[in-house]
């Protein structure tokens, strides 16, 4: 598409290699159910669909987050005529538009719905051309992570100035005053060593056994493994796990427990005696009992995909009558899946905080639900993960570096809803806000950043003959220059900025809303060696259980299991660790289960009961006209009118009482 006839450079700050294919000056972006709209110019380029308001307030970010949509993010394009009863037409590259469109609806994969209106005063030819151009460009758009090919000029994007570059020095001082640490990208040995030191994980080391990706192509270059296990012995274990994804450390609890993750055991695995010795050292290592927490009781990827598709259909305007909306929401089973994942994370986090053991998260592929569980457990148990830089480092390690297949999952599997639920239940425990999570959700669909373009580190590094330089990122200084003599990476990822460069996409005012002013600062240093246990933490010892025992965690119950490759060993007696979640009122802290439970310092135990888990309205329902009021008021008088309508609506809800709000209607005001 970059070489399309008639393409020209845009007058606005364009992307490298971006060409305008068609435009419609005088188009209006519609909002709400009435005539509220804002005039401007609708453009179709070979990278995105962009709307330029005629009177944009102040300077705009280089990649505006509200008026732009990347072509791969467009799910459906619908053209219609408001002045007739003609049926709206879904536009594709192969379709033929037989009428002049008066309205154009862009349905996005991130749940946005952009609607444009073309007046009849001379806009007919432009409307026809721009609608067809968007349909053609959308079909021709490619996801850079799928091709693995570089694009000349994309390095300019990494160096593109944000809208407030002249205030960088002042912002840098503010960041230092706030104690903001750098976001670790986990592309370098130094990043892995730095984080391991912060965790204070004695008995673990950083292994470079997979530095060339020859042991496990989808695993990162560096792994956290037991210090007593040599790389020569570690190599014996890869063949016994699916996709060769061996157990490795994710997180170390200050009390001594360890969280590991791995793929499922290989069905055809027949290890010899030496291999069994290495596997025991990797899984057990004298660190206490090993608990296997598999994902068998969690929804499958197919279940999640189906629920997401039903949820997306339900969140469209007019999809269901208001009185039937709640039952339709439950019918999607989306909230059921959120509750199930939260329950499992609570079980694992409680076990790590209450007993000295190793918990192994096990999923057949280790690339989807393990990413979610490992992240949720650390958000529950590690205050540092609830800070802004800590959370970004967590995403880099447990999703990006761990090999989550973003290109295949985007648009099918969303990961943010359980995290948003934690922020809602514990607003003062997080250093970031719901606005930040929404920005992260939306940015995962934007192919302008390297973070979510690829399926693993190996794919990110293709085309580069050199090992990547140390990569730590700060919101102020951008990439840190490598030491003299260290070559720069030549891959596509090396020429694109990380998604954490929020200044390229969001204004200073928007970024200010990312930080929670009352959120906990978190701990960035290693735990106190003198007393590693938080106050009130139970004793480390497990009476009657040896360090070599293996258990399976299912709904709060520990069931004994022989070591997977050891035969003829009598299983130990059944030991129950704690009552099941059901007997604790879903850990709601009360018989009704409507309040977050009391937990030890540093540990969050969210309530997973039905009424406590709500839909992420700010994300999923923003395409509804009711959610867009006030965003594009054409004048101060129009804004005042919409404000009056919102106040009337709020009064009506207050008069209806708390039951209406607790029900979670799509039109209920979100808190």
**Which candidate, 437, 491, 429, places its Cα nearest to that of 462?**
491
**Residue-wise burial string across 560-588, b where 16 or more C-beta atoms lie within 10 A, e elsewhere:** beebebeeeeeebeebebeeebeebbbbb
**What do you get for the CA distance between the two ends of the chain, in Å?**
44
pLDDT of residue 548: 65
Most confident listed range (44-53, 234-243, 591-600): 234-243
Please give the model's pTM, rounded to 2 decimal places.
Answer: 0.81
Paired sense of beta strands 550-554 and 290-294, if any = parallel
pLDDT band for position 249 (cuts 50, 70, 90): very high
- Please name which of 487, 433, 493 lies closest in space to residue 458, comparing C-alpha atoms: 493
Determine the Cα–Cα distance for residues 79 and 554; give it in Å rounded to an integer.
51
Kindly state the percentage of the chain with pLDDT values over 70.
67
Most confident of 203-217, 284-298, 526-540: 203-217
Q: Which residue has the higher pLDDT, 84 or 308?
A: 308
8 A C-beta contact, residue 45 and residue 18:
yes
Any idea which of 167-171, 242-246, 593-597 has the lowest mean pLDDT?
Answer: 593-597
CA distance 89 to 103: 11
pLDDT greater at residue 660 or residue 209? 209
- State residue 391's pLDDT score: 96
Q: What is the pLDDT of residue 394?
A: 97
| pLDDT recorded at residue 40 | 87
Give the residue with greater pLDDT, 488 vs 391: 391
Query: Mind listing the pLDDT tens digit for each residue in 348-395?
Result: 999 999 878 899 999 999 999 999 999 999 999 999 999 999 999 999
For residues 669 and 608, which has the higher predicted lDDT (pLDDT)?
608
Q: What average pLDDT does the chain have?
A: 76
- pLDDT of 119 reads 77
Instruction: Decide if pLDDT at 203 tops 70.
Output: yes
pLDDT bucket at 534, cuts 50 / 70 / 90: very low
Q: How confident is the model at residue 80 (pLDDT cuts 50, 70, 90)?
A: confident
Query: In the prediction, which pLDDT does 629 show?
Result: 56
What is the model's pLDDT at position 494? 58
Most confident of 179-188, 331-340, 503-512, 534-543: 331-340
Mean pLDDT of 6-20: 73
Banded model confidence at residue 332, pLDDT cuts 50, 70, 90? very high
pLDDT at residue 560 above 60? yes
Angle between helices 322-332 and 334-354 in degrees, nearest 10: 50
Is pLDDT above 80 for 659? no
pLDDT at position 564: 74
| pLDDT beyond 90 at 231 | yes
Higher pLDDT, 290 or 411: 290
Span 303-332, average pLDDT:
88
DSSP letter at 397 equals: I
pLDDT of residue 217: 96
Span 320-338, mean pLDDT? 90
Average pLDDT of the segment spanning 462-485: 42
Q: Which residues pair with 159 in a beta bridge?
A: none
For the cut 90, the answer to whether the pLDDT of residue 2 exceeds it is no
pLDDT at position 654 is 72
What does the pLDDT look like over 514-523, one tens digit per residue? 999 887 554 4
* Comparison of pLDDT for 98 and 475, the residue scoring more: 98
For 75, 115, 120, the CA distances from 103, given in Å and listed in that order, are 17, 7, 11
The reported pLDDT for the residue numbered 259 is 97
What was the pLDDT predicted at 269? 81
Provide the pLDDT for residue 142.
Answer: 65
CA dihedral 304, 310, 313, 319 (to 10 degrees): -150
Q: What confidence score (pLDDT) does residue 578 get?
A: 41
**Of 669, 384, 388, 643, which is closest to residue 512 (Cα–Cα)?**
388
Q: Does pLDDT of 260 surpass 60?
A: yes
CB 353 within 8 A of CB 533: no
Residue 566 confidence class, pLDDT cut points 50, 70, 90 = low
Q: Rounded mean pLDDT of 121-137?
A: 86
Q: Find the Cα–Cα–Cα–Cα dihedral 258, 261, 267, 269, rounded to 10°.
A: -60
pLDDT-based confidence at 97, cuts 50/70/90? confident
pLDDT reading at 244 higher than 60: yes
Q: What is the pLDDT of residue 604?
A: 92
Residue-wise pLDDT for 580-594, tens only, equals 433 333 433 333 444
Q: What pLDDT was estimated at residue 230?
A: 96
Given a contact cutoff of 8 angstroms between Cβ atoms, the answer to whether 624 and 315 are in contact is yes
pLDDT of residue 572: 42
What is the CB-side half-sphere exposure of residue 197 using CA atoms within 13 A? 6
**What's the average model confidence in pLDDT over 632-638?**
56
Do 178 and 517 form a contact (C-beta atoms < 8 A)?
no
Laid out side by side, the sheet with 258-263 consists of 248-252, 258-263, 358-363, 290-294, 550-554, 557-560
Least confident of 20-29, 99-108, 477-486: 477-486
For residue 155, give Cα distances in angstroms to 152, 399, 460, 468: 7, 24, 15, 16
**Which range has the worst mean pLDDT, 13-17, 185-189, 410-414, 529-533?**
529-533
Beta strands in 399-443 (DSSP E): none
What six digits make up the tokens of 415? 């990961």
pLDDT category at 65 given cuts 50, 70, 90 is low
Percent of the chain with pLDDT over 90: 35
Task: Report pLDDT for 266.
Answer: 87
User: Which is more confident, 94 or 120?
Assistant: 94
Give the pLDDT band of residue 214 (cuts 50, 70, 90): very high
Instruction: Indicate the range of 346-350, 440-444, 524-528, 655-659 predicted with least confidence.
Output: 524-528
Confidence of residue 571 (pLDDT cuts 50, 70, 90): very low
Residue 144 pLDDT > 80: no
Q: According to the model, what pLDDT value does residue 478 have?
A: 39
pLDDT digits (tens, 9 = 90+) for 616-631: 988 988 888 766 655 5
Q: How far apart are CA 281 and CA 234, in angstroms?
A: 9
In which band, very low, low, confident or very high, does the pLDDT at 86 lie, cut at 50, 70 and 90?
A: low
Angle at 261 between CA 256 and CA 263, to 5 degrees: 155
**Residue 285 in 3-state DSSP?**
coil
SS3 call for 148 = coil
């Amino acid at each position: 598409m970059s070489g399309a006839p008639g393409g020209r450079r845009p007058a606005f700050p364009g992307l490298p290699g971006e060409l305008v294919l068609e435009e419609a000056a005088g188009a209006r972006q519609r909002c709400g159910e009435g005539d509220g709209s804002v005039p401007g110019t609708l453009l179709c380029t070979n990278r995105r669909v962009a709307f330029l308001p005629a009177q944009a307030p102040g300077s705009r970010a280089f990649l505006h987050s509200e008026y732009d949509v990347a072509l791969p993010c467009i799910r459906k394009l619908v053209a219609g005529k408001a002045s007739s009863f003609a049926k709206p037409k879904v536009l594709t590259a192969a379709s033929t538009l037989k009428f002049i469109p008066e309205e154009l609806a862009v349905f996005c994969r991130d749940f946005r719905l952009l609607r444009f209106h073309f007046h009849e005063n001379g806009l007919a030819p432009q409307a026809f051309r721009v609608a067809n151009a968007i349909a053609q460009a959308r079909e021709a758009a490619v996801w850079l992570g799928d091709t693995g090919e570089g694009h000349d000029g994309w390095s300019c994007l990494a160096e593109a100035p944000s809208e407030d570059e002249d205030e960088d020095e002042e912002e840098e001082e503010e960041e230092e005053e706030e104690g903001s640490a750098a976001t670790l990208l986990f592309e370098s040995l130094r990043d892995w060593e730095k984080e391991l030191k912060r965790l204070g994980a004695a008995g673990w080391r950083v292994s470079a056994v997979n530095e060339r990706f020859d042991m496990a192509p989808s695993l990162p270059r560096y792994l956290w493994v037991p210090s007593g296990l040599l790389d020569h012995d570690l190599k014996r274990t890869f063949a016994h796990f699916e996709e060769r994804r061996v157990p490795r450390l994710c997180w170390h609890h200050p009390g001594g427990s360890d969280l590991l993750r791995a793929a499922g055991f290989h069905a055809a695995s027949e290890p010899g005696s030496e291999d069994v010795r290495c596997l025991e050292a990797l899984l057990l290592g004298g660190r206490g009992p090993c608990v296997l927490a598999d994902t068998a009781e969690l929804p499958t990827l197919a279940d999640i995909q189906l629920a997401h598709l039903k949820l997306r259909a339900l969140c469209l305007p007019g999809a269901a009558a208001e009185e039937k909306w709640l039952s339709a929401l439950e019918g999607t089973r989306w909230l059921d899946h959120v509750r199930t994942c939260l329950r499992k994370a609570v079980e694992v986090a409680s076990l790590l905080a209450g007993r000295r053991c190793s918990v192994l998260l096990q999923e057949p592929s280790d690339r989807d639900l393990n990413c979610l569980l490992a992240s949720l457990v650390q958000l529950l148990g590690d205050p540092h993960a609830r800070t802004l830089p800590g959370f970004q480092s967590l995403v880099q390690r447990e999703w990006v570096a761990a090999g989550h297949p973003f290109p295949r999952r985007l648009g099918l599997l969303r990961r943010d809803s359980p995290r948003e639920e934690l922020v809602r239940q514990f607003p003062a425990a997080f250093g970031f806000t719901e606005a930040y999570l929404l920005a992260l959700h939306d940015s995962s669909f934007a192919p302008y950043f390297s973070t979510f373009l690829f399926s693993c580190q190996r794919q990110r590094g293709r085309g580069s003959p050199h090992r990547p330089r140390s990569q730590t990122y700060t919101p102020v200084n951008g990439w840190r220059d490598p030491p003299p003599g260290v070559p720069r990476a030549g891959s596509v990822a090396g020429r694109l900025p990380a998604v954490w460069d929020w200044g390229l996409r969001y204004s200073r005012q928007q970024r200010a809303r990312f930080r929670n002013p009352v959120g906990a600062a978190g701990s960035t240093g290693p735990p106190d060696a003198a007393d590693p246990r938080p106050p009130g933490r139970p004793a480390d010892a497990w009476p009657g259980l040896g360090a070599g025992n293996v258990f399976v965690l299912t709904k709060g119950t520990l069931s004994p299991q022989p070591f997977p490759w050891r035969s003829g060993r009598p299983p130990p007696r059944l030991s129950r660790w704690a009552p099941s979640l059901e007997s604790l009122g879903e850990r709601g802290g009360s018989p009704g289960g409507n309040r977050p439970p009391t937990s030890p310092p540093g540990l969050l135990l969210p309530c997973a009961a039905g009424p406590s888990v709500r839909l992420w309205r700010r994300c999923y329902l923003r395409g509804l006209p009711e959610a867009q009021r006030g965003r594009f008021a054409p004048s101060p008088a129009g804004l005042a009118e919409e404000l009056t309508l919102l106040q009337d609506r709020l009064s009506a809800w207050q008069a209806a009482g708390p039951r209406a709000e607790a029900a979670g209607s799509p039109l209920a005001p979100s808190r």
